[in-house]
Chains A and B, each alone.
Chain A
C-alpha cells in the first residue's frame, strides 16, 4: 500500500478566486473550507449529510460539503456564503433573510442561502411549494421555515424584477 501523505496540495476556485490549499487528506470539503481556508461561514450540524447546514455550491450545484472529500474538488468552482455579497451590498437573498425574519439564530442561514441561490439561479419564477421542496433538506430549528420561505419568495420577486 502506498503511504498516505500527511498533507496534499491542490487548488480550488472559491468564490471566483483561485485558492491553493494544503490539508490532511482525510478532510472533508467542509473541514478544508472552515479550517484550512478560514471560511467559517459554512456551518456543520450533523456530519451525516442530514441537516444541510454545510451546503455549498460545487460547479453551481448545491452539495453537502460534509459528504464531499476535499481531495475530490481539485479545480472545482466552489461557492460559499462569503461569496454572495457584492462588496458591502447584500445579495437579494441575504437582504430578504435579514428583513423577513429568515434568520433567527443564523446557524442554518448559510446553508439555506446557498440552497436557495441554486434554486433561484436556475429559475427565479418559483412557487412557495417549490421553495419548500428545495429547502426540505436544510433543517432549521428556530423559524418553522415560514419566514424563510417568505424571504426566498421576496428575493425571487426582486431578482425577477432585476432581470426584466
Chain B
C-alpha cells in the first residue's frame, strides 16, 4: 500500500447504481433494441415432436417465398457445441435427430419477422417418431432408444459416487438414522427479457454478435469452434441482460444461427425469441429426486450422511456435468458433517435441457437437507434454531470433502432471524393455521475452476487514466442486472478516493475488454473485484509517487479522498485527483494498469475435487411465517426474515435488492413455479409437451403475493474478498423453500416433502392427518439407480491427504460397532 489508509467513502454507502439513470430513462439498449441498416430478421423452425429422426427437410418453397433471403438447416452446422467440453452434444440446428418439443431444426432469414414466420410454414419435414423418454425413471428403465450416443450407459448422462470416510460405519454407530425422500420439481428462470441477438459483419470483415448472454467469453469460444473462424475475427458484446438468473449462460442455438446467417449474407441479422421459445430454450432448474440417510447423536450432532440424487436432465448436456456435482458437493458446507457419501445420476429425457438456475443444483438438496433437519429437531425435541447453532461449520476449517471454509457468519445469521422474528416466543406457539419455519444455507463466491481447463486468470481488469481525470475501466464481466458494473466502479472509486460517477465502465465485450469468465456462480464481486483492486492499487501507487514529488512529501503519507490527493495533517499540501493524474502522466507517460485474479488452489486432490471449492462461502438464514387455510390448503406468507452473511455490502441498496430478489424467487419456487409437461392425447400424437409455455400460465409472484422481507446484512469482511465483500445474488434464495415447508409443518402439522408446495398437496396431507395416517405428501420410493462404486477419500480429520484411496486395501479397517 502506497497511500495512507482511510475510512470508506464509497464502499458501504447506499448509492444510485452507475447504470441507474439510464435504466430509469428507458435508455439502456437491450439486444432487441438494437437496429442496424439493412437488418434482416430470423425465425427458427422448432420440432413438434419430443423425439424423432429427421428423415427429410425440403426447404425450396420457403427459400422462394418473397422476402426470404436465406434458409439454413442442420447441414449448415456440421460442428457440435456445448458449454462444457465434456458435453459437446448440441448443433445449432438439429441435423438428424430432434430431442425435445422446441428443438430447432431450420431457420429462415427474411425482410421481416412476419415474412420469416410465413416461410417457416413452407418448410416440409418428414419425421420418424421415436419413443419418448419422459422421466428419469423411464430413462433408467429404457436404455433404448438412446437419446444420445454418448454418456455413461443407456440414457444415463452422468453417474458418479464419492465417499468421504466410512459412512455405513458411522450410520451404524449413530443414535438415530433418519431416512427421507424428497422431490424438487423443475422450474425456469423467466427473465423478463426474451433472448435476442444481432449479428453483423463489421467494416473490417469481422463478425460482431451483440447478444443477451451472461457469458460472452464462453460464447466467443464456441462461436469460433462452430463457425471454424479464428476467435480473433469474432467479437461478442454482451448487451445488458434484462434478467438472466442462469438462463443466458449456455451458448444458444439462435446466437450461432444469426452469426452464420450474417456471415453468409453480409447483412445484419437479428432474432428475438418469443416467450414460448424462451420456455424451450430453458436450461433451468433440474427436477431432482433425493434420498437422505442421516445419522445423528441423541444431542443433535450429525455423524454422517448418505445422499443420493437423480436428475432429470432434459434433451442435452448443457451444464449437466456440473449440475450433477452441485446436487451434492455443497451439502457439507453449512454444518459439521464428519462423514459424507454422495451418489448422483443425471439422465437424458425428451424435454428442454435443464441447466444452471440461481443456486445451480444446490437448492434441491438444500431443501431436503433443511426439511430433514426440521424433522430431526422435532424427533429429538430440540429447537430447530438451537440444533443448527450447535453444529455450524467453523471458520478456517475443512469439510469431510476437503472444501475450505473461510469466514462464516452463519451463527450470527441464525441469531438475527431468531431475534427479529421473535422465534422463541412464537415458534410452536402460534394458533393452528399459523406457523414459523427456519432454514439455512451456504453458497459459493465463485467456482474455483473454469469451465474449460486452463492456467489463466479467471478475471482481468484494465484501467486507463488520463489528464482529464477520467477513469475508464475495462472488464469482460457482464451486467445482468445484478449490479456488476456498479461493483466495478465502487471498487475503483474507493481506491482512488473519487466518486463512482467519474468511472466509466466498459464491460462484457470480447473485442475490447480483458477476459472475465462471466456472470455465473456468484463469482463477479470476488473475482472481478479482486482484479480491479489490483489494477487500481498499481495506478494509485504511481499517482501517489508523482503527487508526493509535487507536494514534497512521501507517497505513503498521502491520502486519496473526496476527489483529492493530500497530506492529512497539512491542508495546504493538496492536489485535486485530476491534477495528481496530470503529474503522474507527465512523470510516467500514458497511465494504464492491469489486474487479474485466479482463485486459490483447492485443498482436495481427488478426481472431481474441482467442483465446490470457492475462495469464500456466503451463508444465509431465513425464517418464513405462513398462514394455511385448512379448508382450502391456501398458503399465505405474511412475512419473511432473512439474514445474509455478505462479508461487506459494497452498495447496501443493491445488496438488499439482491437479497430480497433472491427471497422472491425462492418463494415463487416454493409455492408455484414449475416447468412441467403433459402428454397430448393419442389422437394428437401422444407427444410430451410443455404444459404451460406462457407467462399467463407459468405462475410467478406478483406485487400482491409478495410479503415484506426483513433483511439483515451480516458484515464480517472475508480476507479473500475485495473489501471483504462476498456474494449476494444466489445464496439468499436457497433457504426460502425449506423454510416455507417447515413453516407449513408448524402451522398445520403436515409435511410436504416436494416443491412446489401447492394448496392441493396441503389439502391431501391434511386429509391424511385427519384420517390418522402419516400426514405427509411426497415421493414414496427412490428409484434403483446403478450408481458406480464410490471414489473413496479419507476426510481431513481422519488423516487423509486429499487424494482418493487407490484400492479397497487402503481403506481403514471398520471399527467394531457396539450393537
Contact = CB atoms under 8 A, between A and B. Distances in A.
Interface of A: 24, 26, 34, 38, 40-48, 50-51, 53, 80-82, 84-85, 90, 93-95, 97-110, 113, 131-133, 135-149
Task: Please give me the 9 A-B residue pairs with the lowest Cβ-Cβ distance, nearest first.
Answer: A105-B481, A41-B26, A107-B242, A144-B664, A106-B23, A98-B20, A81-B26, A94-B24, A40-B33
B480 A105 contact: yes
Contact of A101 (B244, B656, B664): B656
A10 to B, nearest CB: 20
Report the contact-size class of chain B (Cβ under 8 Å from the partner): 35 or more
Contacts of B23: 97-98, 103, 105-106, 109
Nearest to A134: B703
Interface stretch (B387-395, B704-712, B766-774): B704-712
Nearest to A144: B664
B242 A101 contact: no
B89 interface: no
Nearest to A26: B114
A90 B21 contact: yes
B704 A136 contact: yes
A84 B26 CA distance: 10
A105 B242 contact: yes
Contact of A107 (B27, B243, B656): B243
22 contacts: A24-B114, A34-B33, A40-B32, A40-B33, A42-B26, A43-B242, A44-B32, A48-B694, A81-B25, A97-B20, A102-B24, A103-B23, A104-B661, A105-B480, A105-B481, A133-B703, A138-B703, A139-B192, A141-B189, A144-B706, A145-B703, A148-B703
B382 interface: no
Contacts of B33: 34, 40
Contact of B193 (A43, A47, A98): A43
Most buried by B among A40, A98, A101: A101
B469 interface: no
B656 A98 contact: no
B24 A98 contact: yes
Nearest to A138: B703
A50 B275 CA distance: 11
B20 A99 contact: yes
Contacts of B658: 104
B654 interface: yes
B69 to A, nearest CB: 18
B534 to A, nearest CB: 28
Contacts of A45: 192-194, 275, 695
Interface in B193-224: 193-194
Interface in B9-32: 16-17, 19-30, 32
B26 to A, nearest CB: 3
Contacts of A94: 21, 24-25
Contact of B661 (A110, A133, A144): A144
Interface of B: 16-17, 19-30, 32-33, 35, 112, 114, 189-194, 240-245, 274-275, 480-483, 653-654, 656-658, 660-661, 663-665, 694-696, 700, 702-704, 706, 708-709
A98 B17 contact: yes
Given A47-B275, A90-B21, A147-B657, A82 B26 contact: yes
Contacts of B240: 105-106
Contacts of A41: 25-27
Contacts of B708: 146
A105 B191 contact: yes
A24 to B, nearest CB: 7
Chain B binding surface, main DSSP class: loop
Nearest to B26: A41
Contacts of A141: 189-192, 243, 245, 661, 665, 700
A140 B21 CA distance: 18
A129 to B, nearest CB: 9
A135 B703 contact: yes
Given A98-B21, A107-B242, A107-B243, A146 B274 contact: no
Given A46-B696, A47-B275, A144-B706, A101 B653 contact: yes
A149 B243 contact: no
Contact of A103 (B24, B193, B274, B275): B24
A29 B299 CA distance: 66
B280 to A, nearest CB: 15
Given A46-B275, A141-B243, A142-B243, A101 B702 contact: no
Nearest to B189: A141
Contacts of B274: 47
A109 B24 contact: yes
Nearest to A95: B24
B653 A106 contact: no
Nearest to A34: B33
Most buried by A among B240, B242, B665, B709: B242
Contacts of B26: 40-42, 80-82, 109-110, 113
A46 B657 contact: no
Given A41-B26, A105-B242, A53 B192 contact: yes
A31 to B, nearest CB: 9
Nearest to B35: A38
Most buried by A among B23, B243, B275, B706: B23
A106 B191 CA distance: 11
Given A100-B653, A109-B23, A145-B664, A40 B700 contact: no
B489 to A, nearest CB: 14
Most buried by A among B241, B245, B657: B657
Contact of B704 (A48, A80, A132): A132
A105 B193 contact: yes
Contacts of A149: 703
Given A43-B193, A104-B661, A136-B702, A48 B653 contact: no
